[in-house]
């Protein structure tokens, strides 16, 4: 199967594929998912083939009610559904809910999802948000009670999820639930297959430019020199404005990833709020090609921008959107971390803490940058892959994963 898809023959990948094929056969053997059937949690280094194997499994498994998604937008979707569920709660039940409450919005939303899908496949399973961490145990308990099978990929083992996170002691029971319901598989391949073709695709330099003239030339080539006009995307009640021509969008890093710090403007016009995953998702659903200019070197000094850029690349990659980028340097030099000051939060630290609405006591765990370093490695790998001929030939627009 791997050879037929043009993939590399890797011993570690084949062993993982054997597990996935066995799971696929068990799922296909009965119209009802057995209660004792385990899903899979596949972890390994960046570019080792986790996502490719899960996608191969997802495309071939004989399950009609299935959904493959990136974990980050999935949690955004869950929080959105929870917000709706809470707003529709009977007034006498409003307030603090527990698992034993008469009205349990987490159970309600998880049950609705379980009725929609028998199989959920999550790419890049990672927990960095305390809001996610605090609901995962209850949410996945309900999914597993309803016999939903979960297959997930991650860069780290279950034991390291939400490492150094706030109130992690309350998160730890989720790890036990996850391990009980998903077989843990370590994909220990030493190769980063996304970077194998780097330097061999003659046109890849046209897709990742460090020169604005080359970027503008690529834009003229793909648009046949035609003029782009402003298009407005409506996202959650606010407007995202981009220059567009057909399925091609032209965006600036500042517009997509930087934070407006003029609070009075934010209050007057919510169009100036920082963009997030829902905005990037709308962009990826509308356009097949995104041109992104003026990407700076990022690191501790502009961590807020870095987080949004990582999310942007994750969403574009997950939706197989073609990307042409103009950056100040090559992908491996685009991220510059240095050790934060140990004398207390500086301006940039305070800005980051403000983003997460935390006080300075949260700084030590928040500013270790461990999660960002994992995410940066993934982003570098994806940027290299996204400029390759193979990515461009196999990519397109859309939600082709969800059945």
pLDDT for 237-272, tens place per residue? Answer: 778 889 998 889 999 999 999 854 333 333 344 445
Q: What is the pLDDT of the chain when averaged over all its residues?
A: 78
Is the pLDDT at 349 greater than 70, yes or no? no
| Residue % of the chain over a pLDDT of 70 | 74
The pLDDT value recorded for residue 221 is 87
The span from the CA of 91 to the CA of 80, in Å, is 20
Q: Are strands 289-295 and 298-299 parallel, antiparallel or unpaired?
A: unpaired
Is 281 in contact with 315 (CB distance < 8 Å)? yes
Residue-wise pLDDT tens digits, 118-132: 999 999 898 988 888
Give the count of beta carbons closer than 10 Å to the beta carbon of residue 3.
Answer: 8
Angle between helices 277-286 and 71-87 (to 10 degrees): 110
**Coil vs helix vs strand at 248:** strand
Per-residue pLDDT at 192: 54
Structural domain boundaries of the chain?
Answer: 3-186, 204-394
Higher pLDDT, 371 or 145: 145
Under the banding of pLDDT at 50, 70 and 90, the label for residue 9 is low
Least confident of 75-89, 125-139, 152-166, 355-369: 355-369
What's the CATH fold of domain 3-186?
Answer: Rossmann fold (3.40.50)
Asked if 283 and 249 touch (Cβ cutoff 8 Å), the reply is yes
In contact, 40 and 185? CB cutoff 8 Å: yes
């Amino acid at each position: 199967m791997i050879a037929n898809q043009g993939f590399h023959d890797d011993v570690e990948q084949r062993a993982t594929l054997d597990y996935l094929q066995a799971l696929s056969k068990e799922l296909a053997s009965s119209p009802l998912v057995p209660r004792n059937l385990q899903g899979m949690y596949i972890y390994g280094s960046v570019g080792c083939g986790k996502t490719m194997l899960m996608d191969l499994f997802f495309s071939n498994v004989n399950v009609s009610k299935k959904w493959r998604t990136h974990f980050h937008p999935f949690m955004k979707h869950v929080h959105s559904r929870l917000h709706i569920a809470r707003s529709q709660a009977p007034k006498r039940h409003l307030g603090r809910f527990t698992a034993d409450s008469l009205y349990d919005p987490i159970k309600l939303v998880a049950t609705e999802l379980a009725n929609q899908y028998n199989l959920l496949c999550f790419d890049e399973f990672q927990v960095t948000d305390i809001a996610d961490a605090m609901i995962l145990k209850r949410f996945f308990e309900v999914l597993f009670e309803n016999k939903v099978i979960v297959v997930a990929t991650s860069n780290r083992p279950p034991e390291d999820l939400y490492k150094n996170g706030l109130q992690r002691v309350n998160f730890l029971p989720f790890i036990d639930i996850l391990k009980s319901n998903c077989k843990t598989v370590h994909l220990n391949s030493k190769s980063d297959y996304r970077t194998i073709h780097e330097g061999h695709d003659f046109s890849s330099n046209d897709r990742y430019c460090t020169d604005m003239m080359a970027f503008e030339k690529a834009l003229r080539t793909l648009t046949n020199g035609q003029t782009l006009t402003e298009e407005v995307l409506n996202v959650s009640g606010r407007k995202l404005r981009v220059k567009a021509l057909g399925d091609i969008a032209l965006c600036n890093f500042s517009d997509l990833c930087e934070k407006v710090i003029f609070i009075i403007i934010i209050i007057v016009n919510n169009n100036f709020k920082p963009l997030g995953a829902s905005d990037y998702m709308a962009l990826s659903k509308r356009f097949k090609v995104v041109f992104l200019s003026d990407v700076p070197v990022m690191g501790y000094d502009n961590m807020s921008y870095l987080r949004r850029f990582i999310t942007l690349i994750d969403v574009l990659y997950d939706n197989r959107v073609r990307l042409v980028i103009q950056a100040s340097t090559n992908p491996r030099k685009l991220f510059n971390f240095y050790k934060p000051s140990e004398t207390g939060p500086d301006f940039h630290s305070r800005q980051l803490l403000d983003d997460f609405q935390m006080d300075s006591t949260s700084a030590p765990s928040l500013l270790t940058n461990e999660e960002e370093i994992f995410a940066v490695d993934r982003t570098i790998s994806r940027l290299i892959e996204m400029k390759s001929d193979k990515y461009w030939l196999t990519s397109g627009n859309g939600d082709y994963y969800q059945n």
